Amino acid sequence: MFIHLGEDIAVPLKDVVSIMNIKTSGFSKKTKEFLKIAEDEGFLVRISDKKPKSFIFTIKENQTIIYLSPISSVTLNKRANFLDINNL
């Protein structure tokens, strides 16, 4: 099973480690620094030019890839069936 992260990017659900909301994940100076380092080191993928609403940690073949997605973490979690939509 795959999860669509936005634009034309879909990843295997088994590779997803975490889906984080940028606003509520403590998008602090430390988080910004971490994402900047990830981008500088080449393991951050910007899916769109739109403002990101979430970031998704994946691991594939022992390689970490972080995707910045314009889709909200709630929507992505629903797509992944991580959330029970009846309890929202």
Q: Which residues contact 57 (CB under 8 A, 6 or more apart)?
A: 16, 17, 18, 19, 20, 64, 65, 66
Q: What is the spatial distance between Cα 80 and Cα 44, in angstroms, rounded to a whole number?
A: 21
16-69, pLDDT tens digit by residue?
999 998 887 666 777 888 889 999 999 999 999 999 999 999 999 999 999 999
Q: What is the spatial distance between Cα 48 and Cα 26, in angstroms, rounded to a whole number?
A: 22
Are 69 and 47 in contact by the 8 Å Cβ rule? The answer is yes
What is the pTM (predicted TM-score) of this model?
0.85
Are 20 and 84 in contact by the 8 Å Cβ rule? The answer is no
Count of all residues that appear for the chain in the document? 88
pLDDT at residue 44, as a whole number: 96
